Amino acid sequence: MSPVIWIVLGVIALLAIALIVSYNRFVSQKNLIRDSWANIDTELRRRYDLIPNLVETVKGYASHEREVFEEVTRARSVAAGATGTPAQQAAAEGPLVAALGKLFAVAEAYPDLKANQNFLALQAELSNTEDRLQTSRRFYNANVRDYNRRVQSFPSGVIARSFGFKEAEFFEVDEALRQAGAPQVSFGGGRAVSFGGASSAPDGGGGSSAPPAPPPPPGPPATP
């Protein structure tokens, strides 16, 4: 067998190995995206489970805020029932984020509610859930970004199209809500609850700074 044939066979073997390695990497990335989405889904379900108890607790102090309670309950039902793509799930989360903001705005007006131990425990658990949700969201989107880059690049894109690997969807809550960083409600100097992008922090965690102290009153005029 001539050296040229050996060279050709060697090139074919290298191409076959590269194809197999690239294909296996696509499979691994798809599995990683699926697993990281499962983490998001877990945190979303935990949030959905917390909301009914939170609504009932606030209702005990502000029963006349029926419209807010109905909006939260309705938005929770829609978000919990969403079973579509990550983009569709994110679209359902937007109204829920806004409704939760209104609920905490109502709670802010009732000092006795803010001191209620059950409410404080629910608020703390929701805050922790939001922290984990944002961490899971960033991890998922980073995996999607890396995967989509390979789908769009050459020569990996040729392999992606040949084997049916398509771009994955990001999970992003409504951009206007995330840019506003709202709602962010602080209770008595404790933890703050934020939805849609900013992580929870005791104070100064992305919220507005405290207003400056007023200047001291002017002293008596100096005697000549």
Domains of the chain, residue spans = 3-166
Q: Report helix, strand or coil for 160.
A: helix
Structure tokens at 170: 């990001």
What is the per-residue pLDDT for 7? 85
Give the C-alpha separation, 36 to 140, whole Å: 5
Q: What pLDDT, on the 0 to 100 scale, is given for residue 168?
A: 94
Per-residue model confidence (pLDDT) at position 175: 53
b/e map of 15-47 (b: 16 or more CB within 10 Å)?
eeeeeeebbeebeebeebbeebbebbeebbeeb
Tell me the pTM. 0.73
At 36, list the tokens. Answer: 């990281």
Give me the percent of the chain exceeding a pLDDT of 90.
48
* pLDDT for res 212: 40
- Domain 3-166 belongs to what topology? de novo design (two linked rop proteins) (1.20.1440)
Does residue 133 or residue 221 have the better pLDDT? 133
Beta carbons within 10 angstroms of residue 53's beta carbon: 15
Q: How far is CA 83 from CA 89, 91, 203, 214, in A?
A: 7, 12, 36, 53
pLDDT of residue 46 exceeding 70, the answer is yes
Length of the chain: 224
In the chain, alpha helices (H): 3-59, 66-81, 86-108, 111-114, 117-152, 156-162, 175-180
Ranked by mean pLDDT, which of 72-76, 86-90, 101-105 comes out on top? Answer: 72-76
pLDDT, position 174: 61
